[in-house]
Amino acid sequence: MSRPAPYDFIDAHTHGSVPSAGIFSVENLMAHENRVPVPADGVAYTAGIHPWHLDEANKAEQLEYIHRIAADQCLIALGEAGFDRLRGPSAELQRSVFGEQVKISEEAGKPLVIHCVRWWEELLSARRRYRPGKPWLVHGFRGKKELGLQLISAGMYLSFWFDFIIRPESTALVKALPSDRIFLETDGAGVDIRNIYGKVARDLTMSVDELKKIIFDNYMRFFVNEE
């Protein structure tokens, strides 16, 4: 399994990453694409059933893919899995398949990456219901401080939405959250993760190197279960 170095920029959630010196990418594979991890320096993988691409007709096939791939040594987490109130199948199907992915995550001993859009009560309810032993990471977060602190208090980590985090209005949120629970990402949008690090480092009045070390430590704690 490829691992980042303390001096790497870590892109905690991306799609279609291109190898680049000094950048470590966590590449997300979607079950409906049926792709498999390809071992390479500077990249690790997650894989999950995204609610946007889920329906009753493909449910069994996608779950079979997740069961098959879960033990792959290049796979460091399951997901993105989750809930979407604006786009996706019925609430019943989303709940059922999310629960299956939680179960696979726990059996594989790997954390879970979450997609959640305007359905936070459902996510928090699932957290209470399943009481997972492995940690969860909410990717693409752009909510208010109170919600961020609620999710962290429930035991989750947050990775910020790339477009939100570079705006001035994100500064108060970044400063309000514990830095040992955050990640940064591009979500495959073609933005430069180094610019995101620069903005967040300024928000936290620290150097980019200091921020790199914090996020590296978070990576090792969340994905590798090493302090």
Domain locations along the chain: 9-222
Residues 125-134, mean pLDDT to the nearest whole number: 97
Which of 187, 194, 137, 199 lies closest to 162 in space, CA to CA? Answer: 187
Residues 58-76, mean pLDDT to the nearest whole number: 96
pLDDT at position 32 is 93
66, 48 Cβ separation under 8 angstroms = yes
Phi-psi region of 16 (alpha: psi -120 to 50; beta: other; left: phi over 0): left
- 1 pLDDT higher than 70: no
174, 197 Cβ separation under 8 angstroms = no
pLDDT at position 160 is 97
* pTM of the model as a whole: 0.95
pLDDT at position 54 is 95
Domain 9-222: give its CATH code: 3.20.20.140
What's the pLDDT band for 2 if we cut at 50, 70, 90?
confident
Percent of the chain past pLDDT 90, that is, above it, reads 94
- 227 pLDDT higher than 70: no
Which residue reads 């709940």 in tokens? 95
Residues 136-152, mean pLDDT to the nearest whole number: 97
Q: Over the Cα atoms of the chain, what is R_g?
A: 16
* Tokens, residue 137: 């990471």
